[in-house]
Chains A and B, each alone.
Chain A
Amino acid sequence: DADVTQTPRNRITKTGKRIMLECSQTKGHDRMYWYRQDPGLGLRLIYYSFDVKDINKGEISDGYSVSRQAQAKFSLSLESAIPNQTALYFCATSDLQVSSYNEQFFGPGTRLTVL
């Protein structure tokens, strides 16, 4: 079984719709992250969380919100989707107790298309 899972894997939606992307992990890690990947731009951090009560904005948080429902679950919401949010979204986890260089473990990604 995959350690970091993301649902859905693919989603097509329309402008203005509310979308939630979900991430679950069985690695027992405390840190969780949401990234988006666009061609030519690499991975950009949207939000990150160091525990259930700790949520932090990344470099491109506008238009997004997150919820850390439990240590193992971290969801990303687009309240009103717009076409330039079309991208590949990745969830990742890490644990500084395990890896001093903060290795991040990525899920398989969600391909989101906003029409």
Chain B
Amino acid sequence: QKEVEQDPGPLSVPEGAIVSLNCTYSNSAFQYFMWYRQYSRKGPELLMYTYSSGNKEDGRFTAQVDKSSKYISLFIRDSQPSDSATYLCAMRFQGAQKLVFGQGTRLTINP
């Protein structure tokens, strides 16, 4: 079993829809949770991060961590075609330097 599981999709939704992307993890010691966005032919870029549990909102994006369920989510409201990309979750332990990535979910927003 992978430490971090993410449905690779692909996921295709119409413009304006609410998108929910999710990752599950097996190790309860993870403390830092991140979402990276990767456009085609580009390297990943950090989109959002949270520490421990709770929610964090940034514009149309909300990151949510449920440590009791070992489950993290990224919500995109009012999705736009420019949100079409691969979204990777990543996490690390307190005091560790390495990130553990999910497989990435390929998202397409259709105009």
Contacts and interface: CB of A to CB of B under 8 A. Distances in A.
Interface of A: 4, 31, 39-45, 48, 50, 58, 90, 92, 94, 96, 101-104, 106-109
A103 B103 contact: no
Contact of B32 (A45, A48, A101, A109): A101
Contact of A106 (B6, B45, B103): B45
Give the interface residue-count category, chain B.
20 to 34
A99 to B, nearest CB: 9
Contacts of B88: 42-43
18 contacts: A40-B8, A40-B103, A42-B101, A42-B103, A43-B101, A43-B104, A45-B99, A48-B98, A101-B34, A101-B49, A101-B51, A102-B97, A102-B99, A103-B46, A103-B49, A104-B46, A106-B43, A108-B41
Contacts, number: 52
Contacts of B104: 42-43
A66 B34 CA distance: 27
Contacts of B67: none
A41 to B, nearest CB: 6
